[in-house]
A and B are shown apart, each in its own frame.
Chain A
Amino acid sequence: MAGLRVLVGVKRVIDYAVKVRVAAGGGGVQTQGVKHSLNPFCEIALEEGVRLRERGAAAEVVAVSVGTRVCQAIDDDCNQTGQLLAAMLDWPQGTFASRVEPEGEWVRVQREVDGGLETLRLRLPAVLTADLRLNEPRYATLPNIMKAKKKPLEVVAASEFLGGGSPPAPPRLRVLKLEEPPPRGGGQRVDDVPALLERLRASGCI
């Protein structure tokens, strides 16, 4: 297992407990003055990386964030980043991982899928994404928080990766409009199942 390196993508997103609101103009969501935190899934992924290193299954864990000075993103809950990355790299992917076991040249990944649990064996290098059940991130200790301040944080300009100093390509997606779902209207009570069926038919649902 010596030599296995783990790269964990982390992102600062709107705090999971905040009620997200559409910004004026409908072009995005409100971020000004809104509480941001480390994406909880990123935290879980990072914890898994650290645990792999602690038990000797990995040699090095590198955390990376991509973006502006504040490395901020609106987490759209699209569930695409890991999959996109795997496709671009042409690497195998194990998403919704709830258990990760490196085995030499391979990694065994247990996935949480709709039908239950699925176990895959992927050839390394591979892309994994974390499910909530993967682990419970530990608390940071006070001494570690103080040490973190002194750890080296390497900042690399995107142009360095693109060769020749060319700027990154512009985004290929443009958000046309963002709006909140319509407010919930009142429901109707019916007395029995036949009445329910009749109402559903009448409204064109079935």
Chain B
Amino acid sequence: RRSAHGRPAPAMAWPGALRVPARLLLPAGRRLRRGIASCIDPSTGLTEEQKEFQKVALDFAAKEMAPHMAEWDEKEIFPVETMRKAAQLGFGGIYVKPDVGGSGLSRLDTSIIFEALSTGCTSTTAYMSIHNMCVWMIDTFGNEEQRRRFCPSLCSMEKFASYCLTEPGSGSDAASLLTSAQRKGDTYVLNGSKAFISGGGDTDVYVVMCRTGGPGPKGISCLVLEKGTPGLSFGKKEKKVGWNSQPTRAVIFEDCVVPVGNRLGAEGQGFSIAMKGLNGGRINIASCSLGAAHASVLLAQEHLTVRKQFGEPLANNQYLQFRLAEMATRLVAARLMVRNAARALQEGREDAAVLCSMAKLFATDECFAICNQALQMHGGYGYLKDYAVQQFVRDIRVHQILEGTNEVMRMIVARNLLQG
């Protein structure tokens, strides 16, 4: 396919994934070839029901997200309406209990769904996974009153949530956080600030880990705050390499008064709540990486068949064939790691947390390498923003850093191996 200037026409972010009517109405010459690629088919081994979930998520990604992912990135648009549409399908509280508006699905179902949505826009899906994590924390550790107060409007995405753990002085060393919450009668008074908060300033509900007791993890509690609370303010919107469809800001507390009734769980339980949230969060972020890598492999495959050099399609070049095969192999390996961890978590197995760390480590590293390799295969075109592959690379780069750096993931695995 060539445009007027003789260069290959930009592929859709997700080749061949246009919804039926649009696709069949395209003139024959512009029909996009669907990658057959059955070896990386993400639906293998799934139940009929899971395949249906996946199909809805893929359809939604192709129709509602993929056509806009470039614009959302360039103009830094937080796609509220699109996410609300997703919430109407049940994507706002995927593993939250149905009695408060959630879909009550398993961690594996959730992984499948985020992987599929991520093929449409990784940045937006990653935010949705953070939102889901927050709703789950309130659903699981909140009392009945808190669940009913917060969860329904979060599941419908009438309101959006942010997870506030990281501070300017405490990233990997999360338990050393300084934001203090002083008890005063029926309230806590918060002072301090959080850094790099996804959605910060645009979201409505903030799940904040803060210090109510002594140093270390045991002194941390979890409070839920709402935007508009006096003393709650936000820093400037950060300019990022990727994840541009979600705003990132500092969250600042200055004598911010929060009722005791907004505390999730007991005093001192906050760090444990935060870490349990992250187990699922790590699977979700890894799943987002899987989706981006899958889309990138298909983009690379498409490019190799279309682009000619030295009189032949690039796909005739054995080096490139082998690299594509390696990318596919590593993608499937990463997917198996993630789904294995999801199963362990939903079964409540003892090894779940370390498996989640391994899966996050492996999948985010492998998938970044896959997307990066896919970009390389596009040659100079891969560096242009007309082509989707660079956005997948930029968007998933941060997955190796947040929700626990991949270095921290290694710490967790090493600890399991050496300290038992």
Contact = CB atoms under 8 A, between A and B. Distances in A.
Nearest to B34: A17
Interface of B: 16, 19-21, 23-25, 33-34, 36, 38, 49, 52-53, 56, 59-60, 88-91, 94, 98, 103, 105
Interface residues of A, number: 20
Contacts of A44: 21
- Most chain B CB inside 10 Å of its own CB: which residue of A18, A19, A140: A140
A17 B53 CA distance: 19
Contact of B52 (A18, A19, A136, A145): A145
Contact of B98 (A17, A141, A143, A149): A143
Contact of B24 (A16, A43, A142, A149): A16
Given A40-B21, A142-B89, 14 more contacts: A16-B20, A19-B36, A40-B20, A40-B24, A44-B21, A132-B20, A132-B24, A139-B89, A140-B56, A140-B89, A141-B56, A142-B53, A142-B103, A145-B56
Nearest to B35: A17
B38 A145 contact: no
Interface of A: 16-19, 33, 40, 43-44, 132-133, 136, 139-143, 145-146, 148-149
Q: What 9 pairs between A and B have smallest CB-CB spacing?
A: A142-B90, A17-B34, A40-B20, A142-B103, A145-B52, A141-B89, A132-B21, A141-B90, A140-B56
A18 B34 contact: yes
A132 B26 CA distance: 12
Q: Which of B52, B59, B94 has most chain A Cβ within 10 Å? A: B52
Nearest to B86: A139
Contact of A132 (B25, B49, B59, B88): B25
B251 to A, nearest CB: 31
20 contacts: A16-B20, A17-B23, A17-B34, A18-B34, A43-B20, A132-B20, A132-B21, A132-B24, A133-B21, A140-B56, A140-B89, A141-B56, A141-B88, A141-B89, A142-B53, A143-B90, A143-B103, A145-B53, A145-B56, A149-B49
A136 B21 contact: yes
A140 B20 contact: no
